[in-house]
Structure 1
Amino acid sequence: MAGKNKIVSADATNPFGTLKNLWPYMWPSERPDLKMRVVWATLFLVIAKFILILVPYFFKWSTDALNGKLDLQGLVPAFLVGALALIIAYNLTRILQLGLNQLRDALFASVGQYAVRQLAYKTFVHMHQLSLRFHLERKTGGLSRIIERGTKGIETIVRFTILNSVPTILEFVLTAAIFWWGYGFSYLAVTAVTVWAYIWFTVKASDWRISIRRAMNDSDTEANTKAIDSLLNFETVKYFGNEDMEAKRFDASMARYEKSATDVWTSLGWLNFGQGVIFGLGTTVMLIMSGLAVQRGEQTIGDFVFVNAMLLQLAQPLNFIGFVYREIRQGLTDIEQMFELLEVEAEVTDRPDAVPLAIRQGAIAFRDVHFAYDPERPILKGISFEVPAGKTVAVVGPSGAGKSTLSRLLYRFYDIQSGAITVDGQDIRDVTQKSLRAAIGMVPQDTVLFNDTIAYNIRYGRPGATDEEVMAAAEIAQIGDFIRRLPDGPKTKVGERGLKLSGGEKQRVAIARTILKAPPILILDEATSALDTTTEREIQSALDLVSKNRTTLVIAHRLSTVINADEIIVLKDGLIAERGTHEGLLEQGGLYASMWNRQREATQAEEQLKKVREDDELGVVNRLAPAR
């Protein structure tokens, strides 16, 4: 769709360059019907301007008719030169001109909105094409406000460029020609000087206001970022009772926005006043010239009225020139950041000759993989291992060893610096990202759900799945009974990020979603590490069922979840320290055995503490029983 058109940088100092870049959206080659709307809108625009020029003439003729000085005999029929007929004609031309303008706006509305839709679509798609690194560093509230302002700015530019710039220039030309032809060069000179001074002042003042508008936008973005971030972390705010602190941070941002917005409106007042003074001086000079000509008998009262009417009529497009220029400059300011987003290049892209992944058995191999998020801090230092088709390989190790990095690299959220990662012998850099990710299912540690229904979140694994298939996946994930007990069943809303569900319930939804996707390759990235022991055992049984006969890579913190893996790989400082089965690693008495012993002692201590608490509660009940 919008991907056909290339967007380059928005430059607030070069509006014509940006307008050139936006032209494909105002003249959409893929939509001939919209191009015809532009043609018709332009035609009505020109007709409306010529009719508009007749309005002052009818005002002049009706004035002269009332004054007995009208001389149009032989040019038009007598019944049309009466004062009443001319007054009626004067008002009819105004109504006709207004109607043509509204028809023009109606015809162009779909063109402007289509341009906005194209660019908004392009931005949304581009955001999803950017790397995980970009999205980890972004600020959601500020990003959404930048896109919102950018789309509005584009609508302003597209609409005002065609609907106001062209007719205003045409009206200037017609007005100048009429003054020169009807009243001489002196009137043309005064008109030209007035218009030039008006436009010069408008441009200079508008350029001055751009920095003020940019400061207001920055304050608005900052305030919105803080508000969204605070609301997304609602629970954390409540945990620490920091509502007042959050309110003060937000209010501080709004105070800066208040000052900037006040400056914007104050500067607009000075701009409007300066424009009024310049046009007022020009009008005064021309009316004095016409008034003196009337006294000398060179002009009629109708001419005086005509000059005044033409100037009043000229005031509107002049004001539009100032308004259009301000809006376009402010629109460019608004879309600067949006265009900067569009200029951010995707870190991970498909090669020109990339082909879809051909899944045969689903075997995975890491071959001498080196990777670093930051060149100064390598994460993986030459990792090599295989996950045979249909087998389960677990990766364990201390925090920071690089375990979760493996899943991100297999999904190709990042590209490795050297080595290769293959699926059935195919380097994942040589296949399309879409086909690669379609073959992989992920159950992460932190499951974030969409603020929609349980059914929607499960169906996200395969959007075309039926209700029966959704519930079948829920049954396998051992969440079917829970869903049926809910008042709204599968249509129950899960809340923002799924906060209405417990950790175990969210994990089961994630498992059901992956079951519905039915991928040949499965990644379990610490899928139970955030759960209590009892819930972990329940979830683990569901995971064992899901991973059966699938190529499975398990990234785990709790070693009790990987004892049945076909192979366990122990990472330390980005290198493979040990590898083997659970029993074999325990016999080695190395890092894995040490981790196993510590976790087993911690689990035993937890179970003993739980038993002591249960015994204490039972003792209290027994002591109180006789008293009751």
Structure 2
Amino acid sequence: MSLMTTQQGGESPGKKSVYLRLLASARPYRKRFFWAVGCMLLASACNVVPPWLLKNVVDDVLIARNLAMLNALPFLLVGLFAGKGIASYGHQYLMNWVGQNVVMDLRLRLYDHLQRMSLRYLHGNRLGEIMSRITNDVTILQNLVTSVVVNLVVQSVTFLGMVGFLFYINWKLTLITFAILPLTVLILDRASKKLRIVGHAIQSELAGLSAVVQEAFSAVRVVRSFATEDLELSRFRRSNRENFRAVMHGVQVQAALAAIIELVLIAALALILWLGGREVVGGGQTPGELIAFLGYLGFLVQPIRVFTSVVSSMQLGLAAAERIFSLLDIPGEVESPVNPVPLGVLEGRVTFRNVTFSYAEGQPVLRDISLEIVPGEKVALVGPTGSGKSTLADLIPRFYDPDSGTVLVDGADLRRVNLRELRKQIGIVPQESLLMKGTIAFNISYGLPELSSEQIREAADIAGILSFIESLPEGFETEVGERGVTLSGGQRQRIAIARAVVRDPRILILDEATSSLDLEVERQVQEAMNRAMKGRTSLVIAHRLSTVRNADRIVVLDGGRIVEQGRHEELLTGGGMYGRLYHLQFDRGTGQ
């Protein structure tokens, strides 16, 4: 499923509107939010008063020559702006506190949701685009929840307050002025729809830009090996250009909107100056009232200009929110049942009953697989690339659910057991042993912080890596670097084996754990694997058939079906696919 599937046309990602969902996210912080709104209202009120004071200065001080009021005005002005400063500080601090917490909560929800999402989805989408949701989109949303909301409330209240004073001073002139408002509202409506579409385009292009960078640097060795730096640069340049075009389109729309609205408002101001001046000359209103009226119209330009800018930022923020909520709305494919069947300590019996599985509809990878693995048995899965070996193994820890059929462990349907309880009793050594940034001890005990030093040491001994670790100056506290780059492939693989066996799993899955190693290191890792598999139900996925000679049973897959199974000697003399694959490797010198 594409990242943008639910984004077309700026539609709301779920039944609730994005506005209500954002308000729901702020519910835990509603007390501070209401205090912030109170401060916004006070600051807005302080914005509305100055033109009215200007009227009093002209009519009651300058024309009436009232010295007492003149003496009081400086104190009123200082007090007014002191109150405004305190209120502005309060709403800025409180709204940023609320906004930062809302965004932090959303970022945590998004990260947690991504951690639990279907592997189908994660493997089927570009990592850079997914990362863009947590970084770029959340950052834009942060601006919406803090600055945009503040400006929206303050400027809206200021606008309404000034409109109220305009009606009080001269309702006829006000009606004439606001006869032009429908045109302004129409422009804003059209522009907001356009800006929402532009906002989606900008975020999409930015996500694509992040994806290009992520892919290029993740495969930097491949890029350099094939001398394709210029090709990657051209891809980045093309993506960068598309992002530039999307951003500039948004700038054009926003700038044109601000200029048009300002022109409309200035035209209204010029008309009112002419009509109001005629009323003052004719004695219909005082000079102070006209000056206050014009002052309010002048000040009215600021909230409307800010509001036009807010509309742009709001549409970008809502576009980001929609993208975030659309991702949160994607259900996890595999989840624990509400009332799981207790597993207890596993014996290690694994049963596949008529299992069919496909990543894409109509393209099955496994076809009607039936297989039973008894506790303590060492079973090897072999077959050509794409025959379904790794997919079959991935069904045991329930990374996926089969399209049809059932997978059972100790007789319990995996769809009825608690995932955490199941996976804690399964050890997996993948083909590419990625280590986490941290110490060797941290990587071996990953997910089990309660393990003792002796348990970690024992696991390292089983994996055949203990002597190497103890030879290091810092021993188990040695930092391995990001993704384990400071260690060789064989060392990373043995640490991965230690990480699997330290859990004392009842089921151990080794997915082509030696395929990327040279023969000498492979033998060392194979010895570690043999020690790790002792007394456990083990499933070994092998590319090099020489590593599975001693398996209790070898299961051969081809085209998603089991085509033969048995011991090494039986299959070798049976004249089937296993014999052909084995002799092919032997003839090439890789079967020894």
| DSSP 3-state at the match of 2:395 | helix
Please give the per-residue CA displacement for 1:457-513, whole angstroms capped at 9, x wherever unaligned: 223252333455434422332223333444554444444433332221111121111
Q: 1:22 matched to which residue of 2?
A: 22
1:120 aligns with 2:94: no
Give aligned pairs, total. 585
On the 8 A contact 1:379/1:402 being kept in 2, the answer is yes
1:55 aligns with 2:50: yes
Q: 2:321 matched to which residue of 1?
A: 335
1:194 positional shift: 4.4
Q: 1:214 matched to which residue of 2?
A: 200
5 Å matches for 1:91-490?
A: 91-159=78-146, 162-183=149-170, 185-486=171-472, 489-490=475-476
1:581 aligns with 2:576: no
AA of the residue aligned to 1:25: S
1:499 aligns with 2:494: no
AA of the residue aligned to 1:68: I
AA of the residue aligned to 1:368: N
Query: Aligned partners of 1:317 and 1:12: how far apart in 2?
Result: 27
Q: 1:38 matched to which residue of 2?
A: 33
1:67 aligns with 2:53: no
5 Å matches for 1:602-613?
A: 602-603=588-589
AA of the residue aligned to 1:46: L
AA of the residue aligned to 2:38: L
| DSSP 3-state at the match of 1:517 | coil
AA of the residue aligned to 1:103: G
AA of the residue aligned to 1:49: S
AA of the residue aligned to 1:19: Y
Query: Aligned partners of 1:278 and 1:487: how far apart in 2?
Result: 75
Q: Which runs of 5+ in 1 are unaligned?
A: 1-7, 72-77, 608-628
Q: Which runs of 5+ in 2 are unaligned?
A: 1-5
On the 8 A contact 1:160/1:328 being kept in 2, the answer is no
Range with greater deviation from structure 2 (551-560 or 227-236): 551-560
Q: 1:612 matched to which residue of 2?
A: none
AA of the residue aligned to 2:164: A
RMSD: 2.8
On the 8 A contact 1:350/1:432 being kept in 2, the answer is yes
1:66 positional shift: 4.8
Q: 2:3 matched to which residue of 1?
A: none
Q: CA separation of 1:450/1:59 partners in 2, compared to 1, >3 Å: closer, same or farther? A: same
AA of the residue aligned to 1:419: G
AA of the residue aligned to 2:239: S
Query: Aligned partners of 1:551 and 1:455: how far apart in 2?
Result: 26
On the 8 A contact 2:346/2:506 being kept in 1, the answer is no
1:546 positional shift: 1.1
1:65 positional shift: 5.0
1:538 aligns with 2:524: yes
Query: Aligned partners of 1:13 and 1:351: how far apart in 2?
Result: 32
Q: CA separation of 1:282/1:90 partners in 2, compared to 1, >3 Å: closer, same or farther? A: farther
On the 8 A contact 2:440/2:476 being kept in 1, the answer is yes
Range with greater deviation from structure 2 (520-529 or 354-363): 354-363
**Structure of larger gyration radius:** 1
AA of the residue aligned to 1:336: E
Query: Aligned partners of 1:371 and 1:481: how far apart in 2?
Result: 43
AA of the residue aligned to 1:497: R
1:341 positional shift: 1.8
Q: 1:614 matched to which residue of 2?
A: none
AA of the residue aligned to 1:128: Q
Range with greater deviation from structure 2 (124-133 or 262-271): 262-271
Identity of aligned residues (%): 32
| DSSP 3-state at the match of 1:355 | coil
1:126 positional shift: 1.8
AA of the residue aligned to 1:306: A
Please give the per-residue CA displacement for 1:64-96, whole angstroms capped at 9, x wherever unaligned: 45523267xxxxxx84x1x24213312431231
Query: Aligned partners of 2:454 and 2:425: how far apart in 1?
Result: 23
Query: Aligned partners of 1:196 and 1:89: how far apart in 2?
Result: 37
Q: CA separation of 1:281/1:362 partners in 2, compared to 1, >3 Å: closer, same or farther? A: same
AA of the residue aligned to 2:369: I
Query: Aligned partners of 2:240 and 2:259: how far apart in 1?
Result: 28
On the 8 A contact 1:521/1:550 being kept in 2, the answer is yes
